[in-house]
Structures are given as C-alpha cells and as structure tokens.
Amino acid sequence: MSKSLRFSLASLVMLAFCSLSVMAQSQATTGQISGVVSDSNGAAVANATVKATNKDNGLVREGTASSDGIYTIVTLPPGKYTVTAQASGFCERA
C-alpha cells in the first residue's frame, strides 16, 4: 500500500471517529434539580411534596421526596427557581 493511500485511509478513519463524537453530543435544553428534604435536626422528611417555581414565568414542576427525603425534579427549562417543600406536620420553607 502506498504512503499516500495509507495517509488517506488514516485520515478517513480519524474523520469518522470525530463525526461520531459530534453526533453523540446532547442537544439538551432542560435540566433538573435534586436535593434532600430534611427537618431542623437534619433528619430526612419522607414523602414531602417538592415544588420548583420559575421566578420569571411562574412555571411550576412538582416531585415527591423518597423515604430518604431525596427528590429530583426533571425537565426544567433554564431559569432561576424557588424550591419549596411541604409535608404533613411541617411548615413550608424555601
């Protein structure tokens, strides 16, 4: 195989790998907020309702904390959010 043919083949292989990495990049336009709901003593608050409210347009997304107090609210458009949690027997706090 000639030197120029090997160079051309190597260039094509490199170009193919570069193209694959570009195609694998995400076009995500949303994000998520995760956290833990806990009481003033640091104990997890199970099954709390968590709300994320967009400060600019009022969009509200809700989630529920797990038995460990962990929550994740997904598909949030970019923006600034206020996050609140409510649970039976607790006052609402941001």
Q: In the prediction, which pLDDT does 48 show? A: 94
Q: What is the pTM of this model?
A: 0.66
Q: Please, what is the Cα angle at 51 between 31 and 85, to 5 degrees?
A: 125
Residue 63: CB atoms within 10 A of its CB come to: 21
Q: Kindly state the helix (H) or strand (E) to which residue 17 belongs, with its residue range.
A: helix 3-23
Q: Kindly state the DSSP code that residue 24 receives in the 8-state scheme.
A: T
Q: Where are the domains of the chain?
A: 28-86
* pLDDT tens across the length of the chain (94 residues): 555 556 556 555 565 555 555 445 556 789 999 999 999 899 999 999 999 999 999 999 999 999 999 999 999 999 999 999 999 988 755 5
Per-residue model confidence (pLDDT) at position 11: 56
